[in-house]
Amino acid sequence: MSLRLGDAAPNFKAVTTEGEIDFYEYLGNSWGILFSHPADYTPVCTTELGKTALLKSEFDKRNVKVLAVSVDPIEKHHGWKKDINETQNCSVEFPIIADEDKTVANLYGMIHPNASETFTVRSLFVIGPDKKVKLTLTYPASTGRNFVEVLRVIDSLQLTANHSVATPADWKHGERVIVVPAISTEDAIKKFPKGVEVVKPYLRYTPQPNLD
């Protein structure tokens, strides 16, 4: 199964390091990140989970709940979690799903047979409060993810979901944004009192609208 942007994120029940969960109930009205790991006790994954734990306050600030998933059993997860906390100087408090029967992996298309028949690739899904898939990222097992980029994308997704703007290349929170083409320049000037810079009729900038 290949999930596409805008598809409903499949719900599931799972055993995790924080107890049994129902995915939709766990998310509630929050945004969610579901990301997979090829196996426990692997070096790149150890750094990724550590980085995610260290960014907890940033995810909390954005109303984002995080879940990791690996096809290894729960006993291994608990032991690995101790290693992560020790080596990455962090405290992993988000659930790590024990997906031994690959239910979650198959629901989300995390097994890529040409890469590995048995292990998940490094997939990441951002899911909105409406339980729709907003972003998908897939990395090879050898390349660690950039979680600062994940935060940047969430900032963009949350901004553009609530305002008639898009974000340009390399945009960061606080920088100017693009007025979407569906809004005329006349209407944009009324809608964005901070000002509209018209570079081309189709390329118009305005300061980020949700900042004071």
Cα separation, 149 vs 190, in Å, equals 32
Q: How many CA atoms lie within 13 A of 41 on its CB side?
A: 9
Q: For 11, which DSSP code?
A: P
Q: Which of 14, 27, 45, 133 is catalytic?
A: 45
* Structural tokens at position 115: 């890469």
Per DSSP, the three-state class of 104 is: helix
| Single-letter residue type at 163 | H
How many residues make up the chain in this entry?
212
45 is catalytic: yes
What residues act catalytically?
A: 45
